[in-house]
Structure 1
């Protein structure tokens, strides 16, 4: 009987812990977060939101509490949340060209941008998004660097078009890449 009670208590403890998982964010200023990331040797996840954003609230209520999300993001990143309508958030929005919400920016431990995306998405896609920051075939800024250096291979254009559509960045650049893909498709007909 005592063993059964212990097993039930252990199960209940595990169950309540898994129910209370929540993605948490560092407090303080951006420069403090950068310093902590350098010291810990961990990349940074920056969540840019606005209080009135419907999709931001949706992510906070349905995805950030997910155990898979909180485990992955806590193990992998220093997490930081900023309201881009006030204070330091206004500066970061201008500095990183944050045009829509929610916006997710991924930096290496030195503060170099790796990847950007946004929008509401399910938990598994949000975890995949965090993994994409380290994947040279999906990380927005690695693909953009290749494009800026003149790579117009079909593979790069294809990959970069997906990263651009997720990034919420320059519509003009997206149109240029899409036109390049259209030209390649016409040549292959």
Structure 2
């Protein structure tokens, strides 16, 4: 009797310690994990991460180490993790259609992908998301199976597209969006259910057919989708394009394209209008390599800029001045940049911009 009781105590103690360890990720290749899951009739929980991903680190250090996480995942899954940029990771990311991090892949014992969950959560959040997914019959995995069986009606393609967008499977997103667009009438395209075709940089990049359809049918989109959504979409799109010009990454956008953007920006109802028009002026000055004009614009516009403008325009312009063999222009730009720092409210931006302009000053 004493011996039985002692064994029970040891077993309970071992189980408690095991749970306290958090999620037990096994050192297995993907194929080995599939084989183990099939043999044990268990699902696979794959943590797809990268070394530079902040939310991935948070999940690894703050969530998966928790006892509650261990209690749930160690019982229900063969748990594995893979750096998507090392070893078999790149091939696995391509195979599973992973384009954002962290992505948590739920795979059934027979090896079929059931779902992909993107983004970090707290302990309760990730457990809830996984439990709800396991009960659902409309996950990205089940919809993919229906698609592979040949289902192509409009309602299904819309549903599948939304699921793919949530997991950032860009290759499949483009394929499904193209099939859906072929079936839609112009009247259907302006409906709220189809807005994702136009509110996405991969499906409606600047200059694309979807972009031009949005621009040419703005009034219809205003009525059906709402002016705020449409104007916000165009403002964000133009901010990205104009920033890319000044970064030197966009060499295809013409002066005429910039004129069209300026005209549309003037018609938008957005509190970013002044900033966007400043972006237009800076893009035009950059294209002409007019250093004097750029300096005047920086001195005039930077005081109006905020945290949102740091990576969109302040840093691109700084790259231009850093690359010029004009010490006086660089000196003036550094002065303008340092005076801009008090406008910032996010401490990370304050630290970054302060360090950056201090380093620029050392080049003088």
* Same fold, judged at TM 0.5 (above): yes
CA drift of 1:65 comes to 1.9
Q: Is the 8 A contact 1:103 1:119 kept in 2?
A: yes
**1:124-175 deviation line (CA, Å, top 9, x unaligned):** 2211222233233452222344566135559x956973x4454222354579
Q: Is the 8 A contact 1:164 1:174 kept in 2?
A: no
C-alpha distance 158-88 of structure 1, shift in aligned 2 (>3 A): closer
C-alpha distance 37-181 of structure 1, shift in aligned 2 (>3 A): farther
CA distance in structure 1 between the aligned counterparts of 2:74 and 2:19, rounded to whole angstroms: 16
Any unmatched runs of 5+ in structure 1?
1-12
CA distance in structure 1 between the aligned counterparts of 2:61 and 2:122, rounded to whole angstroms: 11
Aligned to 1:8: none
Q: Is the 8 A contact 1:157 1:180 kept in 2?
A: no
Matched residues, number? 170
TM-score (ref. length: structure 1): 0.73
If each structure's strand is expressed as a fraction of its own residues, which one has the higher value?
1
1:169 aligns with 2:169: yes
C-alpha distance 160-98 of structure 1, shift in aligned 2 (>3 A): closer
Aligned to 1:98: 98
Cα RMSD for the two superposed structures: 3.3
Aligned to 1:123: 123
Q: Is the 8 A contact 2:34 2:111 kept in 1?
A: yes
CA distance in structure 2 between the aligned counterparts of 1:36 and 1:19, rounded to whole angstroms: 21
The answer to which structure, 1 or 2, has the higher relative contact order (CA under 8 A, 6+ apart) is 1
Aligned to 2:141: 141
SS for the counterpart of 1:133 is helix
Larger radius of gyration: 2
TM-score (ref. length: structure 2): 0.40
Q: How does 1:65-80 map to 2 (within 5 A)?
A: 65-80=65-80
1:150 aligns with 2:152: yes
CA distance in structure 2 between the aligned counterparts of 1:80 and 1:69, rounded to whole angstroms: 14
Any unmatched runs of 5+ in structure 2?
1-12, 182-188, 196-223, 225-364
